[in-house]
Amino acid sequence: MILRALMLLLLIAVQRNVSLAADAPADMVLIPAGSFLMGATPEEQQAVLAFGWQGPMRDRMQFLAEHSGPQHTVHLDAFYIDTQEVTNQVYRAFVSATGHQAPTFWNSPRHLADPAQPVVGVSWSDAQAFCAWQGKRLPTEAEWEKAARGTDGRRYPWGQEWDATRLHTADAVAGKPLENFEVWTTWQRAMNAGMDTARPATVSSYPRGASPYGVFDMAGNVWEWVADWYEPEYYATSPPRNPTGPATGEAKVLRGGGWDVPKTIPVTWLREHFLPPEFAGSPVTGFRCAATTPPGWRTVQWP
């Protein structure tokens, strides 16, 4: 009798996940409920520092790596997340419909306004407003990381090993490997002097870099705003189920790395916070949205 009841509960749970997945909007994917490994191992932290960082950048990377761990188990309820970063085309519809201020870079000669590129030059508040307009929200930091790395603790969305052909970062923009800090900074100086290829790629240009759930550009292309405030020591006190970040803070978390970063940055676990939430002038920062239920649904109680 007990076994039959357990089998019935299992069947209900499976049917619920199948139903939720089938009801995902075309631009979103269901991330099933369950646990995953969040944060960095000591080995991963050391691998980031082995790039040869120097001066203030070395100090900053040591700080970021240290406070992106320790690795710990987190349980999340099921949620939906956009498979692509929000594009200029979709954001333009939001601006037209609401009168919201347009991103600065739409009037820039830097080739940052192509319709299929991710929108950049948006603040955290801009991103939040767009997601609300779509009936969505920004993903939590934990949701973003699970969607990027799956349940097997991947360093990159596709696996454990670096592969420059699977993402849009400095190596792709430069057209050559940038193997250490000195080589990367030399390239950055040239880029800042005027390199016309230095911009985000069309979203989903790297299908081989998709996450285990089929989410694109979770490594590279643009940094992505998430919902959480940044707190260096948050992992020491964060709840094991559905963490949503500190109640207050000065900077919002950014995830994923942008088109200008070297190979050690766009790992699934690294936590950044280099912009205040009201800043809207970054050419390397965009976002994607998430949802607890598909937009337009009302919450229902399952058996």
Residue 129, token pair as written in the block: 């407003």
Residue 3 lies in a domain: no
Whether residue 97 is contained in a domain is answered as: yes
- Residue 93: which of 128, 122, 133, 123 has the closest Cα? 133
The token pair that represents 162 in the structure block:
């670096």
pLDDT in tens, the chain (303 residues): 454 543 443 343 444 444 455 578 889 999 999 999 999 999 999 999 999 999 999 999 999 999 999 999 999 999 999 999 999 999 999 999 999 999 989 988 778 999 999 999 999 999 999 999 999 999 999 999 999 999 999 999 999 999 999 999 999 999 999 999 999 999 988 877 555 567 899 999 999 999 999 999 999 999 999 999 999 999 999 999 999 999 999 999 999 999 999 999 999 999 999 999 999 999 999 999 999 998 865 333 333
Pair of tokens at residue 282:
């970054």
Q: To 10 degrees, what angle do helices 124-133 and 88-98 make?
A: 80
Domain CATH number, residue 193: 3.90.1580.10
Q: Is residue 100 part of a domain?
A: yes
242 within a domain of the structure (yes/no): yes
Query: 3-class SS at 89?
Result: helix
Give the C-alpha separation, 192 to 184, whole Å: 12
Spell out where the chain has E strands.
28-31, 34-38, 72-76, 79-82, 223-229, 252-255, 285-286, 290-291
The reply to whether 107 falls in a domain is yes
Look at residue 5 and tell me if it is in a domain: no
Number of domains in the chain: 1
**Assigned domain for 220 exists:** yes
Domain that holds residue 101: 25-289
Report d(CA 15, CA 21) in Å as an integer. Answer: 10
Tell me the whole-structure pTM to 2 decimals.
0.90
Q: Is residue 211 part of a domain?
A: yes
